Chains A and B, each alone.
Chain A
Amino acid sequence: MNRMSSQSRKITYLIIIVCLLVGIVFLGMPASSEEGSGGRLAQLRVKHNLGEGSLGKVDPSSTTMNLLLLGLRGVATNLLWMEANEQQDHKNWAQLRTTVDSIILLQPHYTKVWRFQAWNLAYNVSASWDAVADRYFWVKEGIKFLINGSNRNLDNPELLWDTGNFMGSKIGRSDEWKQFRQYFYVDPEPRLNGGVDPELNPARKDNYLVAKDYFLLANDAEEKDPDKQHIMANILFRHYPVRAQFDYPMALQREGIFDQVTTEAWRVGYDEWTGKFGRELFDTETDGGWVVLEASDDDITRLAQQDGVSETLKREWVDRYQKMVNYIFWRTQARVEREELTMQAHRELYQGEQAFKESRMSEAQELLESGMAKFEKVMTQNDSLLLEDDAIEEALNAVLIWQHVHELEGKQVPANYPLKPLWDSQQERVQVLTNEFRREYGIK
């Protein structure tokens, strides 16, 4: 038994309590508004940006849940995740959305959870619905989920990039891209009365321009802390804002819009590609040192001297990096497309095809001939286009339709016509395109 008297024991306990209290205060005292205030843990939190407030928007319910669950957060998350899987298998969509929200309450700063579930909502759940408006609703749910994730995790480049990617690719390149792009301006949800969804598109922009905004934010976040981005090579990650800028006029052209807006969009894209992205410095983290994509001879010499390597090696690395993002192709494409002549050629070929579809044969022939002549001129002025599949196929398709119009009208195809040299040199490709053309229009 303890021989200490009751009073001595109490004094001893008191001393131990005070000692522990001092330790606790030193370690855990909360910080005040003053810089450098608070205990050691509070200071470390500020130093490494680990405080709930510095990570992003604070959700009181999330914090409360995590505190209440003590150490069982992982178990609860696993159970919820299994429940979400079962709800998805059983097509219980409303409950799935609620369960996913609950998972996020428990793991608000786990980027993978946000990315996985957002993808699941926008791609998998959306594809399970039949009506296009319903699919769009779930695409929006996925995107809103990501936006929420970005708010809860400030400066997270991956979530911002995903948001841009969903806005661009999912809305602009799905099978339902025509409807999705329309819905981006005129939302089918009754509560929005035919307007835009303010959470997605408050400024009524094109989906690719909104995507570009998010890619720019992602780039800003990546600049602050490059280690937070694990999706792809740095140069690929950073080229997305301009790619979204290119996707914008391409989508307009797919929709048959060949006006000043389209030309201007290509011009902006070209300027940003060559003037901004092309002038960024990238560290190869090898003996290649630093590279710049829009590199003049002077740049090569300067960079080679700066890194102490040969100009040949420097050129080699610049070439490698250009190939990674298809730099030359996009530069050429943007340079050509921003020209009025190119736009006229596209417009006439497109309108010619539409006239053919609507059986206005004389008009189709006239428009196609004019467009083909302009296209030939563009190709002559830009040799590099002769290597680009899209340009070649557009030209050959125009010739195919034009020849078929002659056939339908009972006319002889002239011996010489615009784009004939290209037609003759691409006979292998012509065969494939002819088959596709016949299948598309049901010609035997």
Chain B
Amino acid sequence: MSFDPQPYNVLLALGHWLAVFGSCLGIAFFVAFMTGVASGRAGAVIGAVTSSFSDFFSTSCRRIGAVALLTFQESKRRKALYVFFVFAALFMFAGWFLSNPSNRPELQAKSYIVFVLTAISWLILPVMLLLSCWGVPEDIRLRSLHTVVTKPIRRHEIVLGRMVGYISVGTIVLLLMGVIGYVWIFRQIPDEAKPSLVARVPVYGTLTFINREGKQGSGVNVGDIWDFRSYVEGATKARAVWTFDDVSEQRVGDQMVLETKFEAFRTHKGNMEKGLLARFIFVNPVKNISLPGKPFEVKEYQDATLVIDRKMTEVDEQTGELKSFDLFNDLVYTDPEDGGNKLRVEVQCLDAGQYLGMARPDLFIRLADRPFAVSFSKSVLGIWLMMCMIVMLGVSVSCFVKGPVATLAVFTFLIIGQGMREFMGRVVTGQEHGSGLVESIYRLVYHLNPTVEIDDSAATKVMFGIDQIFKKLLWLVQHIIPDFGVFRMSPYVANGFDVSWEAAMVPCLLITLGYALPCLLIGYYTLRFRELEAK
């Protein structure tokens, strides 16, 4: 099982957002302006754009609140809160199917946590999707919007009010579900599994390898299809080297807890009744200190913790004297390049002919745990942000198409954004063999599988050229469709980790904020320029 949260690159994300949003805005303005020029109303287009600024600057929270309140009441009328009955029914019987006493305690806890968070998402999101996609089209059909627009209310206030209203309904439902789910987890899971309800706070390092000759290199692949872990050979100079940043007394405390999750690979049976032996070596390259720790047995696929005391001792092999070291004064060093406080930990396998597999998240410094409620709440917050995204998309799309079409469109966004972005990424970057549109058709017709080379000719060059255009368009689509995968924080909670601020919360918040403005603009301009009589 891999669990490797990667920090989010805020600057890169911002750059992408500006590029995509800017180019879409530019294209939209250009098309509108050219249409205006063609019909001799270019001035009207510019006027509309400038007047929209005054609309936005005179936004009234009271008017937005009024629309939001109406939306809330409308949702209640539509019996959106009935979703609770389904929720209650699920939770009444779920225990029958989830309880498996033969599972290990941590796996039992995992099943319950994943179930609760998945059930909450799957119940709340479709309800909010339907509500948000049908609200505005229904207003137009029943002509209630006609009455609203005659009032001194601006179009973007209608859009914002709708969004706020739906989000308020969803927030109440979600809060209740979250609280019930939390209590249910605590009541349902067996006592022996309760200690696994924690929120560990890990500090991950960077991982490099030293090969069997003692030189900088890479780990060994022992034949796994999955190249997540690399292996070091036992009883050689091979090491896995972790470098942790920002290690200080204030952050770590007097005892440093290292948590490991290594994998063993044996080339011979060895002593089957014992796990492979490994050890840590703390290295300070500045002071040239290398302090080996006590050997420990590797327990696979289990989180094993080792407590390292601040004060460590070692017998000098030459003099026989007992030398003592302080973790922060002797082993943590200041990097001459970036000036950060770093700790270098090398891991060595001690059994000859055996291998130890490691990946970046397999060793981390464990800071003081946070309560389970913290990670659970953050995960619910992730669902809330995802719900906000769906409401924003639903309201803005429903401003220019009818309810069923809007539902289908947002649902498609949701499906692609949840599970197909990775595939699209592989197509765009050319990692997926034979994935060009025309190329695929050609291969289908000529019965060529994706790995068969296609002859290099003028016709195929044209074909690949056309595919490149489609791939550029796909790149745009890939960046327009939100990555809903990042909102899924249940793996953190289920694996007993606190939800990482850098790797999970920041991307969720930024993505939601990033879509808020475009959605508002789309809704605003559509309501402003569309013919409301067209049902």
Contacts and interface: CB of A to CB of B under 8 A. Distances in A.
A61 B269 contact: no
Interface in B290-321: 298-301
Interface in B69-122: 97, 101-103, 107, 110-111
Contacts of A131: 275, 299-300
A282 interface: no
Nearest to A87: B1
B1 A90 contact: yes
B225 interface: yes
Contacts of B273: 132, 179
B1 A130 contact: no
Contacts of A75: none
B228 interface: yes
B402 interface: no
Interface in B1-21: 1-2
A52 interface: no
A132 B272 contact: yes
A192 to B, nearest CB: 10
Interface stretch (A92-100, A205-213, A292-300, A358-366): A92-100
Interface in B196-246: 225-226, 228
B173 interface: no
B301 A179 contact: no
Contacts of B298: 130
Given A93-B1, A94-B103, A179-B272, A130 B264 contact: yes
Contacts of B264: 130
B276 interface: yes
Contact of B269 (A98, A129, A175): A175
Most chain B CB neighbours (cut-off 10 Å) among A89, A90, A94, A175: A94
Given A61-B97, A176-B272, A129 B111 contact: no
Given A129-B300, A130-B275, A132-B273, A94 B226 contact: no
A91 B1 contact: yes
A191 interface: yes
A92 B275 contact: no
A311 interface: no
A130 B356 CA distance: 11
A264 interface: no
A3 B266 CA distance: 85
Interface in B144-195: 192
Nearest to A129: B300
A319 interface: no
Interface in A94-135: 94-95, 98, 129-132, 134
Nearest to B101: A191
Interface string A52-96: 000000000100000000000000000000000000011111110
A176 B275 CA distance: 14
A129 B301 contact: yes
Contact of B226 (A90, A98, A175, A199): A90
Contacts of A98: 111
A134 B299 CA distance: 10
Nearest to B264: A130
Given A129-B301, A130-B266, A134-B300, A91 B226 contact: yes
A320 B1 CA distance: 52
A89 B225 contact: yes
Nearest to A98: B111
Interface string A25-59: 00000000000000000000000000000000000
Interface in B248-268: 263-264, 266
Contacts of A132: 272-273
Contacts of B225: 89
A86 to B, nearest CB: 9
B301 A91 contact: yes
Contacts of B111: 94, 98
Interface in A130-154: 130-132, 134, 144
A199 B102 CA distance: 10
Contacts of B101: 191
Nearest to B104: A94
Contacts of A89: 225-226
A130 B298 CA distance: 9
Most chain B CB neighbours (cut-off 10 Å) among A61, A98, A189: A98
A186 to B, nearest CB: 14
B107 A94 contact: yes
Contacts of A144: 102
A130 B276 contact: yes
Contacts of A176: 272
A92 B1 CA distance: 4
A272 B1 CA distance: 49
Contacts of B1: 90-95
B301 A93 contact: yes
A318 B56 CA distance: 98
Contacts of A199: 102
A94 B110 contact: yes
Contacts of A94: 1, 103, 107, 110-111
A130 B300 CA distance: 7
Contacts of B192: 191
B360 to A, nearest CB: 15
A199 B264 CA distance: 30
A98 B276 CA distance: 29
A134 to B, nearest CB: 7
Contacts of A134: 300-301
A89 B272 CA distance: 24
A171 to B, nearest CB: 15
A129 B298 CA distance: 12
A89 B227 CA distance: 10
B419 to A, nearest CB: 11
A247 B424 CA distance: 57
A134 B302 CA distance: 11
Contacts of A95: 1
A145 B30 CA distance: 64
Nearest to A192: B102
A162 B496 CA distance: 38
A134 B111 CA distance: 20
**Nearest 4 Cβ contacts at the A-B interface:** A130-B264, A92-B1, A94-B107, A130-B300
8 contacts: A130-B264, A130-B266, A131-B275, A175-B269, A179-B273, A191-B101, A191-B192, A199-B102
Interface of A: 61, 89-95, 98, 129-132, 134, 144, 175-176, 179, 189, 191, 199
Given A91-B263, A95-B1, 19 more contacts: A89-B226, A90-B228, A91-B1, A92-B2, A93-B1, A94-B111, A98-B111, A129-B301, A130-B263, A130-B264, A130-B266, A130-B275, A130-B276, A131-B299, A131-B300, A134-B301, A175-B272, A179-B272, A189-B102
